[in-house]
Structure 1
């Protein structure tokens, strides 16, 4: 699989491409790492804004960051003028945080030329590159009719029945990327009504382990491969990634792809769903 990442150097050389759509997918609520706080809006010039919390989440279904319905993807495409052949570069204002989530959404709906800006806005700024104080206004000139056939890759997103079946079969390795203390129930969950612990037979690999020491970029492919090998993951392993609400699990999912693994999927409901349902088994 092609690398999901592009560098700030690459973006700086290609900002004038007519088929390039640069999209800011930053979120307001950052959990699991110390957030970078901004006093005012700072953007990369030429970028649009798409909200993960609203435009790329199914707000009509109970849950947090529920995977969007096809109609929502079509509406975003219409808003920006995207087609499945468009080149899309996603970034966020934390370096690497919410952009992997948006990347997996677009990939799961068949957008092949979609990439993550490694280091995002913080790296772009640290290099002294030009910034702006607003986003582009969408042109409303749609290249994708809302009736065009888009559909989700059903293997990309797992549900509670899939996880229950996997507890019995053990076909896939379930990797929980929350902090170790949360995984073992030694720290309280940040969301009310959610039990402590983890999905039976899952393993823990906190998502910060795949990021550089400053938390802004992914580690190199070689370092990521070594990390996964140190967990005794086989080269043909099948993974289901989980976290608190389906956000940071995508960081680990992307890291696995960079490391050379291809059979990856996301448990979208993650612990916010599993931990809130008293009928589901847990381990500490």
Structure 2
């Protein structure tokens, strides 16, 4: 590449111009079920990747390779050294230039961005609009399984404390000091739709900023930053606000955190266990 990789977002045009760069590590990080372009039904994300992906991309298994599969909760982050080793196994070393995207839902891509930045690795960006925008613009796709990138030397993790844990969230509920932002849909926030463990509602004192509301419907790109800044400000969030974002499993919340980082907010963390952990204890209160 002739210039450093942007540290937050890259456009489809930028990516198209840099696909051949040998330092690029391009990943589809979609997990769970997803829709292939034009498909009516969801399928396992890896199968969708094999039907259509950006040329040169590899599939990054967020759930099985980049999460602690021994933990009680899905998508629990790995300890720093293990995480750096897992990323190295995927081909991400100290000199890699990483771009990550998802087929539709931004949270899969921003989760990988958040994990890497939490380890002090900032040479990573999210593709604005993901595969949806890429295809809408008539850009080429490839299909079939892809061999992984060669393993790379592990980078040295440097903890950035981008995650919050249960005691820190409980302290925010009991004594304030941080604004809790719920990134789930309005129906989940209100309790109209049940959450993890059959419990409904939100962590007490939370405000609602659904991750889905941060994206434009036309091409799946993020809304303009000035619009997003106004939307967060309308909820009382400024650069001086301590924010802990959460969702069901720490995925969608990373998009809220990512947008705040893009707006220049440094005081934002993601509750890794989110409602999957909070709701597991029936003594933990929920509002609805």
TM-score by length of 1: 0.88
Q: 1:177 to 1:80 in 2, by over 3 A?
A: closer
Which residue of the other structure, out of 175, 181, 186, is the alignment partner of 1:175? 181
Q: 1:75 to 1:234 in 2, by over 3 A?
A: closer
Distance 1:241 1:247 in 2: 10
Aligned residue pairs: how many?
274
Match of 1:229? 233
1:212 aligns with 2:216: yes
Say which is worse superposed, 47-56 or 79-88, in terms of deviation: 79-88
Match of 2:118? 108
Match of 2:3? none
Match of 1:201? 205
Contact 2:207–2:235, Cα closer than 8 Å, also in 1: no
Match of 2:242? 238
Distance 1:90 1:135 in 2: 17
Which residue of the other structure, out of 257, 281, 284, is the alignment partner of 2:285? 281
Which residue of the other structure, out of 258, 265, 271, is the alignment partner of 1:261? 265
Contact 1:96–1:215, Cα closer than 8 Å, also in 2: no
Contact 2:9–2:125, Cα closer than 8 Å, also in 1: yes
Say which is worse superposed, 225-234 or 207-216, in terms of deviation: 207-216
Distance 1:122 1:181 in 2: 25
* Structure 1 residue 215, shift from structure 2 partner: 6.8
Which residue of the other structure, out of 90, 98, 105, is the alignment partner of 2:108? 98
- What do residues 114-168 of structure 1 show as CA deviations (whole Å, max 9, x unaligned)? 000011111111111111103531243x4315xx642543x21111101111123
Match of 1:89? 99
Q: 1:217 to 1:139 in 2, by over 3 A?
A: closer
Which residue of the other structure, out of 123, 144, 158, is the alignment partner of 2:153? 144
Q: Secondary structure of 1:10's partner?
A: helix
Contact 1:95–1:121, Cα closer than 8 Å, also in 2: no
Distance 2:239 2:282 in 1: 35
Unaligned 5+ runs, structure 2:
1-5, 35-39
Distance 1:282 1:37 in 2: 31
Which residue of the other structure, out of 118, 134, 142, is the alignment partner of 1:124? 134
Distance 2:28 2:265 in 1: 27
Match of 1:79? 89
Say which is worse superposed, 209-218 or 119-128, in terms of deviation: 209-218
RMSD value over aligned CA atoms?
2.3
Distance 1:220 1:206 in 2: 16
Distance 2:231 2:220 in 1: 18
Contact 1:177–1:205, Cα closer than 8 Å, also in 2: yes
Distance 1:250 1:135 in 2: 28
Q: Secondary structure of 1:240's partner?
A: strand
Q: 1:222 to 1:139 in 2, by over 3 A?
A: closer
Unaligned 5+ runs, structure 1:
none
Match of 1:62? 72
- What do residues 67-107 of structure 1 show as CA deviations (whole Å, max 9, x unaligned)? 12334423333323322332100011116231011110111
* Structure 1 residue 244, shift from structure 2 partner: 1.1
Distance 1:79 1:182 in 2: 36
